[in-house]
Amino acid sequence: MADATIIDGKAFAAGLRARVADGVAALKASHGVTPGLAVVLVGEDAASQVYVRSKERALVELGMNSFDHHEPADMAESDLLALIDRLNADPAVHGILVQLPLPRHIDTQKVLARIVPEKDADGFHVVNAGLLATGQPGAIVPCTPLGSLLLIRDTLGRDLKGKRALVLGRSNIVGKPMAQLLLQADCTVTMAHSRTADLPAECRRADILVAAVGRPEMVRGDWIKPGATVIDVGINRVPAVGINRVAAAEPGKTRLVGDVAFDEAVKVAGAITPVPGGVGPMTIACLMLNTLAAACRAAGAPVPEEAAL
């Protein structure tokens, strides 16, 4: 059997970003509005700093305003809530993003709930989760599941009716919204997690397998149905030689792996996302899309089709 098609998330994300840039220019021309995203980072988490810088750079590249708020790790929760109140009230801010994880002394749910739902560029607010779960229009969809769906559609076409989909992982920001999106697309959806009985057998039934469990290379090649579409959401940093290998790792050197054992899975799947270069780049591209969509809604302009599920 031929190896799987590699789903090039980096290339798809570049195309999506170009479409967002066109949309931004069109909104400026038609309504005189420049979309703006407030990017809030609390603390010095190294990975978060990298992601936030990428987001701020992307906003500027696409012609949008980036309102950067980099706050100290010991910022009081009440001060963060007050900042969000100010951003909620600022008409130049169409979207608000609070980079996660937040420092432990801050209640994440309380902070996310404070963002007004129409500026919730991440789609994490319970109102947006509720709109998505009840299939109502206007939901802002979380970026990673939205990006994953766009890659699935690009691979399999828009008609996913009757396909068996398995979502491995039940987080509020990936697993649950991903399952809702696939359900809305008329897939038969199973949600699985670390406690699921006979997980390999459950996975083997899936035409579409989305792995978002945060465990390096957990999904093995023989868990995959031949020809399945595999979307690997995991981004795990491991010692350079990797897990499950005998040789010692070079001290200090790391590499990224997904939740799927890629070298095994690529021999069985029909199509698969790599890590890096698969779902990851779609997360930031979809944040740009959600910001444009929020600005369009605020201006009474049509919302880009890819954001209006």
Ligand X SMILES: Nc1nc2c(c(=O)[nH]1)N[C@@H](CN(C=O)c1ccc(C(=O)N[C@@H](CCC(=O)O)C(=O)O)cc1)CN2
Two structure tokens written together for 36: 């703006």
Of 301, 308, 290, 302, the closest CA to residue 115 belongs to 290
Q: State the minimum distance, in angstroms, from the CB of residue 80 to ligand X.
A: 13
55 classed as catalytic: yes
Of 204, 202, 139, the closest CA to residue 176 belongs to 139
300 assigned to a ligand binding site: no
Residues 97-116 interacting with ligand X (rule: CB under 6 A): 97-100
Which stretch, 75-83, 95-103, 130-138, 198-206, contacts ligand X (CB under 6 A)?
95-103
Q: State the minimum distance, in angstroms, from the CB of residue 55 to ligand X.
A: 7
Q: State the minimum distance, in angstroms, from the CB of residue 47 to ligand X.
A: 7
- Give me the catalytic one of 120, 122, 232, 259: 122
Of 55, 100, 51, 107, the closest CA to residue 76 belongs to 107
- Please report, as a single letter, which amino acid is at residue 130: G
Other Cβ atoms less than 10 A from the Cβ of 195: the count is 7
Question: Residue 144 interacts with ligand X (CB under 6 A)?
Answer: yes
Which stretch, 83-91, 193-201, 277-285, 297-305, contacts ligand X (CB under 6 A)?
277-285
What is the x/- site pattern for ligand X, positions 198-237, by CB under 6 A?
A: -------------------------------------x--
Of 229, 243, 215, 237, the closest CA to residue 273 belongs to 229
267 classed as catalytic: no
- List, in sequence order, every beta strand (DSSP E) within the chain: 5-6, 36-42, 65-71, 95-98, 164-168, 188-192, 208-211, 229-232, 236-239, 254-257, 271-272
Question: Residue 309 interacts with ligand X (CB under 6 A)?
Answer: no
* Residue 171 Cα distances to 110, 143, 146, 211, angstroms: 17, 13, 15, 11
Other Cβ atoms less than 10 A from the Cβ of 63: the count is 17
Which stretch, 16-24, 181-189, 281-289, 296-304, contacts ligand X (CB under 6 A)?
281-289
96 assigned to a ligand binding site: no
136 classed as catalytic: no
Pairing of β 254-257 and β 236-239: antiparallel
Number of residues that bind ligand X (CB under 6 A): 17
Pairing of β 5-6 and β 271-272: parallel
- When the beta carbons of 150 and 160 are compared against ligand X, the nearer one is 150
Considering only CA atoms, give the Rg of the chain: 20
Question: Residue 259 interacts with ligand X (CB under 6 A)?
Answer: no
What is the x/- site pattern for ligand X, positions 28-57, by CB under 6 A?
A: -----------------------x------
Which stretch, 82-90, 94-102, 215-223, 247-255, contacts ligand X (CB under 6 A)?
94-102
32 assigned to a ligand binding site: no
Exposure string of 128-142, with b = 16+ CB inside 10 Å and e = fewer, is bbebbbeeeeebbbb
Question: Residue 240 interacts with ligand X (CB under 6 A)?
Answer: no
Secondary structure (DSSP) of 7-30:
--HHHHHHHHHHHHHHHHHHHHHH
Question: Residue 289 interacts with ligand X (CB under 6 A)?
Answer: no
169 assigned to a ligand binding site: yes
Task: Enumerate binding residues for ligand X (CB under 6 A).
Answer: 51, 97-100, 122, 143-144, 235, 256, 275-277, 280-281, 283-284
Catalytic residues: 55, 99, 122
